[in-house]
Structure formats: C-alpha cells, structure tokens
C-alpha cells in the first residue's frame, strides 16, 4: 500500500460553511494536511453550530464537511496575527480561502501579499462572484446562485414555481472546481518554482455547468423551461414515471434503448409507430407518447420494473436518502464510511468519490475549535510556550 496521493502537501485553509470546506475535505481524504484557520473572536466557522445535531461548538453538518481538518485560531485584525500568517505561509504549499471576492487581498491571502515569504505559494480563492466585477464584494450562497444562474428556472415541475435542487449543487461543484484549480496551481509550482493566484467563483462554476442549455440559448435564442416529471429537455423518453408504488427514472439516450424498452414493456407497436420511431419523432410527439408510457408503468411496482428493465434499458428507482445509503452499488464502492468521534460516537458519512490505485483514503474527525493551535505552532514554527503565550496576550490566536 502506497502513501496517500497528496501526502506531504500542506494547505492553510481559511474556510467556512459549505463550499470551501467540501473542496478541502476532498484533498484531505487523499492525504493533504488541511490546517483550518478560524477566527478566535467569532467562535470560528459558523457551521459548528448549524442544527440539527449540534452540540457545544460542533455539529454533524460541520463534521460532514471538514473531516481530517486540524484547527488553528488566527486573528488577522492585529499585526501579530498578520505576521504569524506570513510565518505559516512560508511552511505551506498553498493558502486557500472562501470569503467575499474583495477580501483575499484585504486579508493578505493572495499571492501579492505572500510571494515574498514563499514564491512557491499557491493562493486559491473560492468566492461567490469572483475577485473582480460589479458584484465581487457581495456575499453569495448556493440558493442565491441557483437563482441568478438560471437553475431554478429549469428545475421542478412545469406547473410549479421555480425550484432549487435538493442538495447544494453549486456549493459542492464550486468546492470541486477550486480543489481542481488549486491542484493545477500546485503542479505548476512544482514544475516552475513559482506559485500564483487561482480565482474560482461559484457563479462562474454555475454558469459553466449550464453548458448545452447555454449553448442553445446563446446560439439559437432557445429559452429552456421546466418540464413535467423532471423530463429531459430534448430526449424522449427520459424522465420520471409513476409506478404502482413509487417512481422510476427511464433514460432512453440512444435509439437501441427505446427499442428495448418497447420490447421489455411488451409494446412492440410503440417502437413500430412512425410517430415514435426516431429521436426527432419522439421529441415532436412527446405529448402523445408519454401518457401511453405512464399507463404501462403504472401497472407494476418500481422493483418489478427494475427487474424487468435492468441490463436492457438505463433505469433507476427514485430513492429516498435512506434507500440511497443502502444501495448495493453504493456499499460496494465503499461510499459509506465510519470512524469514532468524541461527542457523536460512531460517525457514519459518505466516503471519497476518488478511487486511486494502491491508496486508501484517510478518514478522521475535524478538530474542535483551536484544538491544534499550540501543536502546529510548536511543530511547524518551532515556537516556545512563551512565544505562544505572547501571541495569546496580543490576541493573535
């Protein structure tokens, strides 16, 4: 068994709430040392107190996003705190932050402020709107971004109001994008000896994921709409169908799958019908075809349809979270992991989605607020107890 892929990589992470911590947790799972920096005057990351399941400055919400992170407190409002930042940055490969877009430079968390102490430092910021532009100084959160980026306009049933996704998809995608950007910056620094700034925003990430919908709009002026049954905007049938006891998702992304669906449904007449024989024909006659399919799917349970279609037609049950966590493929892929936590006991959560040959992900709880401050200052900066106490008296930590 080899060392974790990012073993030896040290990141000073000024993270809070969802997006930034998620990105850093992905790198921490792969062996990176994540030193989470928190404000000693505010009680640290507000995620520590997010209900439900919160207790004395820790919560399951916080643990789910910050596993493996060590915690150090640092007050950048005072000179001693800013000097300590420089000393820490000298010993790190990267500084990562997810504040408003105007704050990285103001707080001294960008390359311009740190390159003199460490020319190889990679300074990655994940902000709501980016570090430039008319909105750069505004705060932004996932719900807001789902609105401004058009996601809500295409999510939900056609008869219902615009709807957000059930999970914080833009926060998580932004975390992934920033982890990717930071990793690219680290690779370049190792090749060239020079670090630099990596500027990632939630809005840019969200807009990039509009992808083909944006292309249709920009090229032909098409305005995507919400469709009934979570239907695909151009492929038919590709949507949810009610069964006798729940819902099933059918995705006929290729002609062969439509032919197989009609066969397994014992309705070869549908495949032979000229109104439905091609992708284009089914798209034009969606309103005729879908009711016919709904009538068929209503005859059996979801599990009966899965048994009949699995291996022939792309399909899946519409699970609740409990069922998803018990799915045989999820369990086989080790996507449910557990480890011990001093307050919550056996803590069970999702595993790393990144599988790298001959390496095992690292899983452990996030530290309590400031729990590692003294150890990090002693081990990394060789500070004495007297020096550490002086920093406390100066309110730097």
**Where residue 278 sits, what CATH number does that domain have?**
3.30.1540.10
Rg (CA), the chain: 25
Q: What is the number of residues in the chain?
A: 397
Indicate if 289 and 379 belong to the same structural domain: no
Across the range 120-140, mean pLDDT stands at 96
CA dist 105 to 97, 108, 110, 300, 350, Å? 11, 5, 6, 60, 35
Across the range 14-30, mean pLDDT stands at 96
Predicted pLDDT of residue 132? 94
Indicate if 79 and 137 belong to the same structural domain: yes
Predicted pLDDT of residue 56? 86
Across the range 179-207, mean pLDDT stands at 97
CB 322 within 8 A of CB 313: no
Predicted pLDDT of residue 55? 86
CATH of the domain at 364: 3.40.50.10540
How many domains does one find in the chain? 2
CB 283 within 8 A of CB 234: yes
Q: Could you say which of 93, 110, 171, 197 is catalytic?
A: 171
Across the range 295-324, mean pLDDT stands at 97
Across the range 152-181, mean pLDDT stands at 94
Neighbours of 115 (CB within 10 A): 17
Predicted pLDDT of residue 158? 87
171 counts as catalytic? yes
237 is a domain residue: no
Looking at the predicted structure, is the pLDDT value of residue 364 above 90?
Answer: yes
Looking at the predicted structure, is the pLDDT value of residue 81 above 80?
Answer: yes
DSSP-based three-state secondary structure for 252: coil
| Domain final residue, candidates 261, 288, 317 | 317
77 is a domain residue: yes
Indicate if 200 and 288 belong to the same structural domain: no
> In the 8-state DSSP scheme, what is residue 272?
H
150 is a domain residue: yes
> In the 8-state DSSP scheme, what is residue 59?
B
Across the range 225-230, mean pLDDT stands at 92
- Provide, for the chain, the percentages of residues in helix, strand and coil under a 3-state DSSP scheme, each rounded to the nearest 5: 40, 15, 45
Q: What phi and psi values does residue 220 have, to the nearest 5 degrees? A: -120, 0
CA dist 236 to 132, 239, 292, Å? 42, 8, 13
Indicate if 168 and 91 belong to the same structural domain: yes
Indicate if 277 and 367 belong to the same structural domain: no
Indicate if 31 and 179 belong to the same structural domain: yes
Binning pLDDT at 50, 70 and 90, where does residue 343 land? confident
Predicted pLDDT of residue 1? 60
Interatomic CA distance for residues 55 and 397, integer angstroms:
23
Predicted pLDDT of residue 167? 94
User: Mean pLDDT for the chain?
Assistant: 95
Tell me what percent of the residues of the chain surpass a pLDDT of 70: 100
164 is a domain residue: yes
Indicate if 281 and 341 belong to the same structural domain: no
Indicate if 194 and 336 belong to the same structural domain: yes
**Domain span including residue 302:** 247-317
Looking at the predicted structure, is the pLDDT value of residue 2 above 80?
Answer: no
307 is a domain residue: yes
313 is a domain residue: yes
Indicate if 189 and 254 belong to the same structural domain: no
366 is a domain residue: yes
CB 174 within 8 A of CB 201: yes
pLDDT digits 0-9 by tens, 244-254:
999 999 999 99
254-259, long-range: CB < 8 A, 24+ apart: 255/279, 257/312, 257/313, 257/314, 258/282
Beta strands in the chain (DSSP E): 10-14, 33-38, 70-73, 94-97, 122-127, 196-201, 238-242, 247-251, 315-317, 336-341, 345-350
Interatomic CA distance for residues 240 and 223, integer angstroms:
22
Indicate if 147 and 87 belong to the same structural domain: yes
Indicate if 142 and 291 belong to the same structural domain: no
Indicate if 279 and 371 belong to the same structural domain: no
């Amino acid at each position: 068994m080899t060392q974790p892929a990012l073993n030896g990589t040290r990141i000073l992470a000024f993270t809070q709430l969802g997006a930034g911590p998620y990105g850093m947790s992905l790198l921490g799972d792969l062996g990176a040392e994540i030193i989470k920096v928190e404000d000693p005057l505010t009680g640290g990351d507000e995620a520590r107190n997010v209900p439900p399941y919160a207790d004395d400055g820790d919560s399951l919400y916080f643990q789910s996003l910050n596993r493996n992170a060590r915690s150090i407190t640092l007050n950048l409002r005072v000179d001693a705190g800013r000097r300590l930042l420089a000393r820490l940055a000298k010993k790190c490969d990267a500084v990562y932050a997810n504040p408003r877009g105007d704050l990285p430079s103001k707080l001294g968390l960008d390359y311009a402020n740190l390159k003199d102490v460490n020319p190889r430092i990679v300074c990655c910021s994940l902000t709501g709107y980016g570090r430039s532009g008319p909105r750069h100084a505004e705060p932004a959160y996932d719900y807001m971004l789902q609105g401004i980026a058009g996601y809500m306009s295409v999510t939900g049933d056609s008869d219902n109001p615009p709807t957000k996704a059930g999970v914080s998809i833009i926060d998580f995608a932004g975390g992934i994008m920033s982890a990717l950007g930071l990793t690219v910056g680290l690779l370049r620094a190792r090749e060239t000896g020079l670090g630099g700034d990596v500027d990632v925003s939630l809005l840019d990430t969200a807009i990039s994921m509009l992808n083909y919908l944006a292309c249709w709009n920009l090229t032909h002026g098409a305005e995507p709409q919400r469709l009934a049954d979570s239907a695909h905007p151009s492929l038919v049938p590709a949507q949810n169908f009610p069964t006798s006891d729940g819902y099933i998702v059918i995705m006929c992304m290729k002609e062969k799958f439509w032919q197989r669906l009609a066969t397994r449904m014992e309705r070869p007449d549908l495949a032979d019908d000229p109104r439905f024989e091609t992708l284009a024909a089914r798209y034009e006659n969606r309103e005729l075809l879908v009711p016919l399919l709904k009538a068929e799917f209503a005859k059996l349970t979801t599990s009966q349809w899965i048994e009949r279609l699995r291996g022939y037609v792309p399909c899946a049950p519409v699970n609740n979270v409990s069922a998803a966590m018990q799915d045989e493929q999820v369990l086989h892929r080790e996507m449910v992991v557990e480890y011990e936590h001093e307050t919550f006991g056996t803590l069970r959560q999702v595993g790393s989605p990144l599988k790298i040959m001959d390496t095992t992900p690292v899983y452990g709880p996030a530290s309590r607020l400031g729990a590692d401050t003294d150890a990090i200052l002693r081990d990394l900066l060789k500070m004495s107890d007297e020096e550490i106490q002086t920093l406390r008296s100066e309110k730097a930590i």
